[in-house]
Amino acid sequence: MDFLIELFHKLTDVRELIIWGGYVALIIIVFSETGLMIGFFLPGDSLLVTAGLFAAKGDLNIWKLNIFLIIAAIVGDAVGYAIGAKAGQALYSRPNSRFFKRTHLLRAKAFYEKHGGKTIIMARFVPIIRTFAPTVAGAAEMSYKKFATYNIVGGIGWVTSMTLLGYFLGRAIPNIDKYIHLVIAVVIILSLMPPFIEYLRERSKVTSK
């Protein structure tokens, strides 16, 4: 149990994760968060921004970073789509477990039904939703050609926007790495804003009826 707790802390401490695992850890985390439903708890936006900060310091190569992680993000979503296409509607009756939360899947389904195909792009920037959106698309039998287009555009847009944000912040602000935890906190808060705003909208609709 102590080992699992320590592993969880390592997986959620983005700074230590990058120091400890480098490119390999980054690739595995991005792939798992976007392609495997058990990866919903993993850091996404904060990981990419922090990786960009490390690249600005010279600890990582910004070109390699983006190429590796774009591929990981695209392949991850493709795997998520394949899982959804194979499991289909059976996923919605699957019971909750330590590594699967049906409520997250249903949230992603509602998001998909509201925004359609462009959900695959938009979901990249919404924690938890980005993990389940490709699976929902597969279960909804979205054509793979259409999915692949959104997947590629979303993967490139998400990875480059986050890593370059960190990279240019690192170049523009001297010694910003000393405040890396503050940067991560701000990124996490901003990434949680879309679902929070959506929640407030839905709540206001209910109360106004």
Give tens-digit pLDDT for 148-182.
Answer: 999 999 999 999 999 999 999 888 887 776 666 67
> Which of 86 and 148 is assigned the larger pLDDT?
148
Residue 33's contacts (CB-CB under 8 Å, 6 or more residues apart) are 39, 40, 42, 43, 44, 76, 130, 131
Task: Report the alpha-carbon distance of residue 54 to residue 60 in Å, rounded.
Answer: 6
- The pLDDT assigned to 206 comes to 47
100 - beta bridge partners? Answer: 97
In angstroms, the first-to-last Cα distance of the chain is: 48
> Using an 8 Å Cβ cutoff, are 185 and 70 in contact?
no
- The pLDDT assigned to 177 comes to 66
Task: Report the alpha-carbon distance of residue 135 to residue 103 in Å, rounded.
Answer: 14
97 - beta bridge partners? Answer: 100
Task: Kindly report the number of other CB atoms within 10 A of residue 125's CB atom.
Answer: 18
Outline where DSSP puts E strands in 53-105: none
Task: Report the alpha-carbon distance of residue 48 to residue 26 in Å, rounded.
Answer: 8
Whole-prediction pTM: 0.78
Task: Report the alpha-carbon distance of residue 151 to residue 19 in Å, rounded.
Answer: 29
- Range among 21-25, 70-74, 112-116, 194-198 with highest mean pLDDT value: 70-74
Query: 183 falls in which pLDDT band (50, 70, 90)?
Result: low
Kindly report the average pLDDT of the chain as a whole number.
78
The domain limits of the chain are 2-208
Share of the chain above pLDDT 90, in %: 25
